[in-house]
Structure 1
């Protein structure tokens, strides 16, 4: 695992920093019990890759780390101090932030970060007391014109939130049932046939498109799954999508050659289907939180987006005949 992190740290010819950041996070996320050296090496890599990446990749990385049971505390503190639009999901949901780190964040950030921490469902009495003290401290600083300005701002935000809620209600009413976000469903026969075909031809880009379609997610999520070098995330996804065992073994052996000699069988046998489904659904929720319900352009450029349109065309007609062939 240390070698894998170091390999990601080396310059990659033509390899976008976004992809390197997501691959590093995926590798770390796949570690069920990271060692002390794993935590140290990930901490050394993360900040520099984060700084070199786009805001979209940063959001994806933070959303993924918010699900990890262990995160180095220096990384947790670094993420928590980012703008609230990025840090919120981590502050609200990460189980890896120690109480001491939370109280340090409260002392060094503003009310937006405090509100995000206040929405956690596992607050200790010490953190609750710190939150109350932070709120009182912020309130005591608002006197005269400052207090009036704060009240006006609060009223404005309340009006805007009311308008947004009305718009969301209108969108829900206007959205056809077929376009509404759905829970994780088993992959269709067409999707499974496409997975096998693209794996056989070595077209990982198109496999990411088909996987995103099956998950009703952005291609950022499907690419992140495929970038997990251990193959565990793809194995969990295939289990969650109820892909036939023979097809799943073929996909794992083809995409990750190191799993060829019994590794794919051992990996699938070590996984629980119910746990895998819950994990993939949590990825979907995080993906929709950061990307919305739509399917934005993939990380690897216009070519994949064009191919993705071709995939949808094939799925609606021509592809049905080819997949059956």
Structure 2
């Protein structure tokens, strides 16, 4: 195998580097259990040959590697960070990518790359937590919530309320504060967790979308008919199709005797208006804010009287 790699290396300056790339991939893929030296040689050769090849050859090579389990992690990170048109099938299917590599890619690549990772069927709890907590650089630069000096945490609930009010008023502030509404990544996660009946992960992602208010998230999810969940998802900007998909997989939809679940969901979602949903969610958040304030006042009074 080493001799084969040396032969391929000698072809680097020829015009037929597409053939070299595919031969490199084919040669490595034919090894059932490549040695450390063979992995190292492949890692050294793959990048330069890939960069010198045509876009179509790159796509074919990465697609071929997507089913191999012994790809070196350096190569996995390299492929996973290429343009999404090439990297997507590898990120979604490759059995070679370790959890640590996936987490590194989640932290350093684009939202499109992360959405490709979400489509994997074998995500571990560690990777799922990284996905739930994923934030893009632009979100980190301008945090919108109130920073609590005592706890060292940021309360995003006020930012969410401002966003929802802006949406209800039809102002441009909703776009500026879009971090407080459902991102495409959060939507993809909610759909995935609903599809796979992973309720704890759904709850965590949903709570984050609500500014971190886990109490409100649980109350909404515990409402048995799905009405409150539908209101919240629409208020947060989830579209009709995704809301209709998520609802029956998370909530027990209230329906009439002869109604199908699908019909009941469509009727419920179709009856809700975004502006009204926003106002209703704002009301729930205001009530939660009042509860929190009253509880804090009681704790302070108890502390002073002790």
TM-score class, shorter: 0.3 to 0.5
The structure with the largest alpha-carbon Rg is 2
TM-score by length of 1: 0.43
TM-score by length of 2: 0.46
